[in-house]
Amino acid sequence: MLPFEFLVDGPPLSQQAKNRARLQAWKDAVRAEATRRWLPGQPPVAGPLLITVVYYHEGVTIRMDNDNMVKPIQDALNGLVYLDDRQITDTRVRKTPLDGSFRVRGMSAVLAEGFVRGVEFLHVKIEEAPDHAELLW
């Protein structure tokens, strides 16, 4: 079932959000969007994983730390896409203005759908982690 990708309308909510009910509602929304694309009856995957989260936003900058943006998303996918978010050994997080110029090659249908919507969104992709025998520099 990997790679697996889905969209969530933005803006995201930070792990540091003071309103815990709102944070839980955000996690529920993330899980609901993932559930719509996850094959029914498909068990969670095992093994090391790479998660990529890109927030396509309005305006030039966004005032949210990357780690605080991705943590609720990782938590929301526990038991559905993977057994536990401890399986995530690699993380890529990016915040990109929607109004930018992009060079597009091989865009997935899921990501293209996000741009067609015309509103802020997050693109989440889960795939097998790269081989860790190669060191990062």
Predicted TM-score (pTM) above 0.85: yes
Percent of the chain past pLDDT 90, that is, above it, reads 84
Average pLDDT over residues 33-61: 95
Q: Which helix (H) or strand (E) holds 95?
A: strand 88-97
Residue 28, SS3 per DSSP: helix
d(CA 68, CA 1): 27
Top-confidence residue, 62 or 96: 96
Contact in structure between 62 and 95 (CB atoms under 8 Å): yes
Contact in structure between 68 and 88 (CB atoms under 8 Å): no
Ramachandran quadrant class, 109 (left: phi over 0; alpha: psi -120 to 50; beta: rest): alpha
Among the ranges given (70-74, 83-87, 98-102, 107-111), the one the predictor scored with the smallest mean pLDDT = 98-102
* Residue 135 reports pLDDT greater than 90: no
Count H helices and E strands in the chain, helices first: 3, 4
CATH topology for 4-128? 60s Ribosomal Protein L30; Chain: A; (3.30.1330)
d(CA 59, CA 51): 25
pLDDT recorded at residue 45: 97
